[in-house]
Chain A
Amino acid sequence: MSTQTAPALVLKSGPEAKAFLAEVDAMAATQVEACYQCGKCSGGCPLSYAMDYQPRQIMRLVQMGLREEALRSRTIWICATCYTCTARCPRDIDIAGVMDALRVKALRRGLRPAERNVGVFHQVFLDYVRCLGRSYELGLMLVYKLRTLRLTEDLLLGLKMFKRGKLAVRPEASRGRDEVLAIFREAAAGDAGAAAGGATGGTGAEAAGPAGGTRSGEAKGGGAR
């Protein structure tokens, strides 16, 4: 939970508080305002025990326009997108989709994911996809371990997998990788557009953030450096 110094959480009463809700709704193509806080999402979430905010509370943060709390939460990075919440929500809110929207917004904003390792993982994963058109599991593991300085964790496991031929030594590249690179570039360009003009995804609120957040499509958006 966020640490609280003021005697009460001051809720913004101006129209800007609604903007965040509208942006998230638009990005996730859902209606977070429908949430009536029943907690069915969080009761069924296999990872809610490890989250700082329950998924239900994330919905509440979005409803109340508490952008910072939502985007800086660990919850959005711990969510494994299993869609249990979405499948069960009695108000038919795509809660997993909202988590996606918040992660994208956090990255566009240049925020470092509150779960650093998760951010690094996604970033390294996408780096390989961007270069090769395909992922490269051995490389992914090695670079991830280097970047997170978790060199010994899973060393034995990695060796075992390697011995059973589960980790291909040589990366495999897709012959379509030029097109894949073009997709990454288009994503980056689109982000820039979204940040500048307020296109489909969200209005320009993120543009105001540091870094303009336009580089996510270039796979550097993990922002974990």
Chain B
Amino acid sequence: MKRVGVFLCWCGSNIAGTVDVSRVAEKVRLLPGVVYVEENKYTCSEPGQASIMKAIKEHDLERVVVASCSPRLHEPTFRRTLEAAGMNPYHLEMANIREHCSWVHTDREEATAKAFDIVRMAVAKALRNEALQPGRISIEKKALVLGGGIAGIQAALDIADAGHQVILVEREPTIGGRMAQFDKTFPTLDCSSCILTPKMVDCAKHPNITLYTYSELEKVEGYIGNFNVTIRKKARGVDEALCTGCGLCQTKCPVKVDSEFDVGVGKRKAIYTPFPQAVPNKPVIDKENCRYHKTGKCRICERVCEAKAIRFDQEDTIFEEKVGAIVVATGFDLFDLEAYGEYGYGLYPDVISSLQFERLINASGPTEGKIRRPSDQEVPQSVAFVLCVGSRDDQKGVSYCSRACCMYSVKHATQYREKVKDGRAFVFYMDIRTPGKAYEEFYRRSSVDYGVEYIRGRPSKIYQKGKKLVVRAEDTLLGRPVEVEVDMVVLAPAMVPKHDAARMAQTLGVSYDGYGFLNEAHPKLRPVETNTAGIYLAGACQGPKDIPDTVAQASAAGAKVVALFSQDELTTEPMVARVDEALCSGCLWCKPVCPYKAIEAKTVTERVAGRTVTREVASVNVGLCQGCGACTVACRDGAMNLAGYTNDQVLAEVDDLLADLRPACGQR
């Protein structure tokens, strides 16, 4: 029998507060195979790990069981410890007595008994653990960045600056994203365009960056270091190589429609660039509104184009690329404000969204920065800014805080007061959240220097009365219902996942939360990685964020990619499925249950009773396999085994747990 050492962790009071660790230790000592037991206050600490290494040497340990937290947290830590002590890291077995026991129970007796059961199972399995060797795969040192907003731009530039190739794919006709729509940025009030557009140009000019705008990701196959991605480049209707970006086509196009970029407060043509500083500065034809596409007549743009770049019959092109890493920076959408019937958005023209306000105060926006309300183009003499529309609302919206709205609404109110000297700005808020560098100071200035008025209360109803809008709320600091008549209302919508975030996540094979935000691998310690190796997150696709946080996360994702690309080969997790071809009947039930498309059929040739026969068996692509074990459950023949979690090892745990119950069953 192998010599097992068991290390029981108190985790401060996290475990010891509920589980009597010493009593568990006493009982564990008696288990077969256990030759050494030790308790530690923090096993993961430096002295804790040193003590494991020492015990391995002094007691000739062949297997190690650490009873502490979830393996998701510290399995890699303790594997390294074993390796440092010269032991195969897969001789480690983790017993999770924290998340699975102490954190979820209150009764000390029962928790202690359960903790012992968890540890004894781990010991039973550890006795059967085998040495595993990681594999090696090559890395394609080229990255795909999805989304050309500030997050994607930053990540692409960081990776490209480190000397690696980057493909930047953007769905819209231009890169720039949301930030390109903004006028100024908090808390410094520096011009958004002034800090963004140079980066956009850098992207376009960077020798290591290939830009695909008006393009979408269609398909992803492969695995870390070796992804095959399929990209659809949508037909622009314009030959980008010929187009000089002179803009004459846009001037002459006779069709005017609401501009998406101006969120409905401005117009664009049917052939258009979303804004003058677009990158690339090449227009697209909006086929749904183009007169020629609709009626077969017009072709004015074609006539006026001196470069002869118009291509009405251009088709989508689809191509494949091989990349080693993917950064997802697909951004966010805004909450549908019409869900709040009581606020009248969509009914009253002067109830607008914060993004629309952003366009109204933008010097390059439809009003050239003059604040004019939509209904009659007059300058509003009073504006109410309403926070948390959709945010922090369990009933009609989303439960979370959108994090940026307080600050940008403070900014909006400040900007309004700057532009309309006698105007009154009311901010209806529940809490003004300013947890960022120089944020609180900015908030203070808004009231002290700019005279913004804050009313603590979530408005209950907004309705029109003549030319005014009445905002009804309780001033919760006065404890009285109040009505404020204003000329315009600006609603701050919650930041929500992109409408197709779930589909994007499925295409990529990464997980997402109940709202549709993409999940990071660990909320604290792995904030930019996903659970799928080689795919990283940047910006608001992972959760609501302001610009500073987005840029920080984008650079972090870039650094992760660069770190990956700093190696020539990658070690792979050896805990993958293996097929015992002798047992496999070739039914391939395992194939459809595999979420990673890692199982294929293969033909084997064998000699049976002197004759050569060929038959189909399952075959696992170890590069794709993530070791989830679904195939082992589906396999009727018991031919599929997950290394590190073989049927034999798992059943040993179960047998050990049931050992005490067996006599009782027998008596029945």
Contact = CB atoms under 8 A, between A and B. Distances in A.
| Direct A–B contact present (CB less than 8 angstroms) | yes
A92 B481 contact: no
B430 A36 contact: yes
A81 interface: no
A43 B392 CA distance: 17
Max chain B Cβ within 10 angstroms of own Cβ: one of A84, A88, A91: A88
Interface string A12-55: 00000000000000000000001011111111110011000010
Nearest to B390: A90
A168 B388 CA distance: 52
B458 A38 contact: yes
Interface in A199-214: none
A102 B458 CA distance: 24
Nearest to B430: A38
B395 A39 contact: no
B474 A48 contact: yes
B406 to A, nearest CB: 14
Contacts of A41: 460, 474
Interface string A43-73: 1110011000010110000000000000000
A42 B474 contact: yes
Interface string B464-490: 000000001111100111100000000
Nearest to B479: A54
Interface string B397-429: 100000000000000000000000000000000
Contacts of A44: 342, 460-461, 472
Given A48-B481, A56-B476, A39 B458 contact: yes
Interface residues of B, number: 24
B457 A38 contact: yes
B303 interface: no
B444 interface: no
B433 to A, nearest CB: 13
B5 interface: no
Contact of A90 (B458, B473, B481): B458
B514 to A, nearest CB: 16
B460 A89 contact: no
Interface residues of A, number: 22
Contacts of A54: 474, 476, 479-481
A48 B461 CA distance: 14
Interface string A151-183: 000000000000000000000000000000000
Contacts of B458: 38-40, 43, 90
B252 interface: no
A165 to B, nearest CB: 38
Given A39-B474, A92-B395, A49 B481 contact: yes
Contacts of B459: 40, 43
B393 interface: yes
Contacts of A43: 457-461, 472-474, 481-482
Contacts of B393: 90
B394 interface: yes
A42 B459 CA distance: 9
A53 to B, nearest CB: 8
Contacts of B256: none
A90 B472 CA distance: 16
B205 interface: no
B219 interface: no
B396 A57 contact: no
Given A45-B460, A88-B342, 16 more contacts: A36-B430, A38-B458, A40-B459, A41-B474, A42-B457, A42-B481, A43-B472, A44-B460, A48-B474, A48-B481, A54-B476, A88-B395, A88-B396, A90-B394, A90-B458, A91-B395
Interface of B: 342, 388, 392-397, 430, 456-461, 472-476, 479-482
24 contacts: A37-B476, A38-B458, A39-B460, A39-B475, A39-B476, A40-B458, A40-B459, A40-B473, A42-B460, A42-B476, A42-B481, A43-B457, A43-B458, A43-B472, A43-B474, A44-B342, A54-B476, A54-B479, A54-B480, A88-B342, A88-B395, A90-B396, A90-B458, A92-B394
